[in-house]
Chains A and B, each alone.
Chain A
């Protein structure tokens, strides 16, 4: 099957993709993504696991009543929901500002490049 002629359009798409891969804008996009995604992941994992660790190590602290029958443990568990909503919101607005415009720009660049190649 390897002897079959390759799809012309696909070949060009690959070279164009490679060019985009070396584009400074693409490198910037990757760096931005990395700089946000890993710290955010570490943050929510640590915050989340703290709940289970405290439940195991300090049941008395978790059982301390703060308001009426509301224990520290229950409020900490509820705060996880708030944390999840906030992190999701922060991520979404960050991605809208910092990722989407760059990605759209790169898509546009590739499109122009493909048009030029088609002309040649």
Chain B
């Protein structure tokens, strides 16, 4: 018990130091209003680190390590998909988006469309994707608190999620709006340092032999060589392809990643920032091998499952084991450190998601649709704050239902929603001349509703192993809906376009293409307000 008190104290100290550094760093730079105006001066490399900070969430740090430690090889497929996804961002989206947008994802979608319907739909899908993503972060944070505080039972687990969730949302809403770029940068550095240290110590345990690590993990798992081959988590090819499509196409539809490209000055800087992100994220995901297989070999599945049935605590437990085991000072210290890194990781992602979703709602929906573009900064900030609180509350409630799930799996669902609702409209807006408002709105809505509905009637919510409707068989057989919902999103966007009598504005498309490819007019768009004043 005294060991636990020590862990909690050390954890609290680490968290206070991290938050302190974050606040100090953001004070060194700019205030919130400055942030948007001067934002386009962020360097490519800084933005690359910040993208990595926004991207590597509880799913990457806690979820993947957990899946690998329980199912071996299959867990590593998440690592691969989440990295390759950046090629979609780099080649198809990042630079064109940088040149044609201004502030939210909807800017690009609404560029050549009627503003109000498209902005409403885009705000809705931004909020939808963010909530699914947030649920996963809350589940991870709850599991972490449960482990640190030594809580047992369902009520305590729900209490942990609610407690830590409320804390995070309040911090983000009232304190964390400042300098999110710095939150992401500091978090990314902490996460990389923690992971490199942990990986190094794991390898040292095996005399720097990956062969020995794999062999020990395979025999400790009780599955033998099957642990090093696919099949323990996924045995259906369709399920694997569905997951793969969601992972590889989802990133290019994530609003909180896309708006990062507006913070750099040029298309070349956008390209540079993706390359930095690919380098950092790629190195991190390769190291999940050591976290996952290391935890399987050194901690053992019995202990991992005891702490969290879905494996989410494999990484922190690995740190405790390597530090000297439960009850030793080294073990308590290292657990506290890695738990603090995980906490900072989750907090930063919660900040990125909440701010993106609430500012999209305040700017795209409230500002452009309700107020019809009459700018009222104070009212928009107020709406953003309320939205942040509401989104936070919804995700906390849903997270307490989803608490038995693996975090990486849950984020995989958010990627399916993003790929189905946002990607078709983003790609058609940038590359298809005939695309029109009806197509954009139907694409977003059908992709959003379709992917969410397929999750709800799928085996994770419905059926004997489901979260809610355990009485019936699932109506949809796949865990990840990507293979159905992504083509559905594209189909709806296409059908909406060809079936409507609305004529697309070809001049506007030409303007968008010129601007996206050359950067012509992009710099002007950044200083000009929505209603360009004739004299200024």
Is B one of A's binding partners? yes
- Whether A30 pairs with B513 at a CB distance below 8 angstroms is yes
Majority DSSP secondary structure for residues of A touching B: helix
Q: Which residues of B contact A83 (CB under 8 A)?
A: 84
Bound Cα distance from A26 to B516, whole angstroms? 12
Q: Which A41-100 residues have a C-beta within 8 angstroms of B?
A: 41, 44-45, 48-49, 51-53, 55-57, 59-60, 62-63, 65, 68-71, 73-74, 77-78, 80-81, 83-85, 87-88, 91-92, 95, 99-100
Verify B229–A77 contact, CB threshold 8 A.
Answer: no
Decide if B228 touches A69 in the complex (CB within 8 Å): yes
A112 part of interface (Cβ distance < 8 Å): no
Count, A-B residue pairs, CB within 8 A: 176
Which B-chain residue is minimally distant from A111 (CB atoms)? B520
The listed residue (B231, B240, B534) touching A5 by CB distance below 8 A is B534
B520 near A20 with CB under 8 A, answer: yes
**Count class of interface residues, chain B:** 35 or more
Distance A30 CA – B126 CA, assembled complex (angstroms): 30
In the bound assembly, the distance between CA atoms of A73 and B507 in angstroms comes to 50
Which residue in A13, A26, A45 is a CB contact (below 8 Å) of B518? Answer: A26
A13 touching B218, Cβ below 8 Å: no
Cβ–Cβ contact A53 & B230, under 8 A: no
Tell me which residues from 68 to 92 in chain B have a Cβ below 8 Å from any Cβ of chain A: 73-74, 76-77, 79-81, 83-84, 86-88, 90-92
Q: Is the CB of A14 within 8 A of B511?
A: yes
Partner of B92, one of A37, A84, A106: A37
Out of A18, A29, A81, name the residue touching B517 (CB < 8 Å). Answer: A29
- Taking residues whose C-beta sits less than 8 angstroms from the other chain, chain A's interface range is 35 or more
Residues from chain A with Cβ under 8 Å of B507 in the complex: 14, 18
Whether A63 touches B534, Cβ cut-off 8 Å, given contacts A49-B241, A53-B241, A70-B214, is no
**B377 close to chain A: CB less than 8 A:** no
Residue of B nearest to A64 (CB): B229
Asked whether B225 is an interface residue with its Cβ less than 8 Å from the other chain, the reply is: yes
B interface residues (Cβ-Cβ under 8 A, vs A): 73-74, 76-77, 79-81, 83-84, 86-88, 90-92, 95, 210-211, 214-215, 218, 225-226, 228-231, 234-241, 243-245, 248, 267-268, 271, 274-275, 278-279, 282, 285-286, 507, 510-511, 513-515, 517-521, 524, 528, 532-534
Q: Identify the 8 closest CB pairs spanning chains A and B, nearest first.
A: A63-B229, A56-B237, A69-B214, A55-B230, A52-B244, A68-B211, A21-B510, A52-B240
* A-B contact list, 17 entries, CB within 8 Å: A10-B528, A26-B518, A40-B91, A51-B80, A52-B81, A56-B234, A56-B238, A57-B237, A63-B229, A70-B211, A77-B77, A84-B83, A84-B84, A85-B278, A103-B267, A107-B518, A107-B520
